[in-house]
Amino acid sequence: MNEQPASHASGMALFYDLQVDGVLDGRIVASLPDQGAGANFLSQAYVEQEGWLFDSDVKMLVPLANGKKVQTIGLIQLPFCFKGDNRDHILDFHILPRCVSNVILGGPFLSLTKTFTAFAHCVKRTVRNVLARRVLLLGGHQLRMGGWLNGQFTGALPDTGSDIMLLSRSYATARGFDIDDDPEYNVLLQLGDGSTAATSGRVKEITWLFGDQDGSRYGSIKMCDFCIVDDLVCDVILSSDFLHHTQAFHDFSRCEFNLSAATFSFNAIKAIELCHKKGQSKSISYPRSCTVC
């Protein structure tokens, strides 16, 4: 599947965001469901607009898709419920000084509630008013979608916050893929905090087939193009459009799995550091790789 964004009548490319309708602390919200995010996030501007008080003692460093880190300014707990559902979920939200969305629902919550299946009626695709490709990935979720990439099993991050299919350069090189480094094909990406990064090449026409590590294969083979990000924090990212068109969460949920300490294929990186004013620190290590050995 060679992905191309839809086009407006003017000839300009259109990009889409997913939106989840719900209620946050009594306020109707349109949240961005980002399966690639390792936690839930709010923008500082939105928190200040609503007058919420938060715990500024808890901060964390969050890796972006390209490995650079941004620091949150605090933590807040708020009740959230899906539109039409009266069950509140008390959620932790980390507050970012700059964020591309007021409210981001992270992968752990989306997986726990099976948002893309059980609450599919609350999920919409909306045309974005910013005509730039995005890969939001904040912190990185542990969920992977199993499949066979050019005949070898791998676990890809199914990132509903990404407009583009991505490979890390280290993974593409290790696999022996033919990387086209022509700058003509480089793409500017907007990251989760609004900053930008550029891709550095592409790999054309390699195959993807959903499947399990035991050799099972499901569906039909998809021919895909991937862009390269030099320091991508995981090996393979499947884009939101690809996941939508293949109905991945509905038709191939059997291929989902979570990373564990035994599944790392490259070096782990420290992804999140919780910092306390008392000088104590607590760290959580998240994997750099998403390939199952």
Q: 201-248, pLDDT tens digit by residue? A: 999 999 999 999 888 999 999 999 999 999 999 999 999 999 999 999
Residue 234 located in a structural domain: yes
282 occurs within a structural domain: no
* Same domain? 202 vs 124: no
144 and 107 fall within a common domain: no
Q: How far is CA 39 from CA 117, 142, 234, in A?
A: 20, 11, 16
The pLDDT value given to residue 132: 80
Residue 291 located in a structural domain: no
Both 181 and 196 in a single domain?
yes
**Closest to 189 measured CA to CA, from 131, 138, 151, 133:** 133
Assess if residue 74 is contained within a domain: yes
pLDDT of residue 191: 95
Domain count, the chain: 2
List of residues 6+ apart from 99 with CB closer than 8 A: 41, 42, 43, 44, 192, 193, 194
Give the per-residue pLDDT at 141.
Answer: 77
Mean confidence (pLDDT) of the chain: 85
Percentage of the chain modeled with pLDDT above 70: 83
272 pLDDT above the threshold of 60: no
**pLDDT over threshold 50, residue 58:** yes
CATH number of the domain enclosing 217:
2.40.70.10
Residue 253 located in a structural domain: yes
User: Is residue 85 located within the same domain as residue 190?
Assistant: no
**Which of 19-28, 191-200, 271-280 is predicted least confidently?**
271-280
pTM of the predicted model over 0.85: no
Interval 115-138 mean pLDDT: 89
Structural contact between residues 3 and 104, judged by C-beta atoms closer than 8 angstroms: no
In a domain, residue 271? The reply is no
* pLDDT at residue number 108: 94
Q: Domain for residue 284, yes or no? A: no
Residue 20 shares a structural domain with residue 111? yes
What is the residue range of 55's domain? 16-132
Q: How many CB atoms lie within 10 A of CB 98?
A: 12
169: left (phi over 0), alpha (psi -120 to 50) or beta: alpha
pLDDT-based confidence at residue 13 (cuts at 50, 70, 90)? low
pLDDT of residue 249: 94
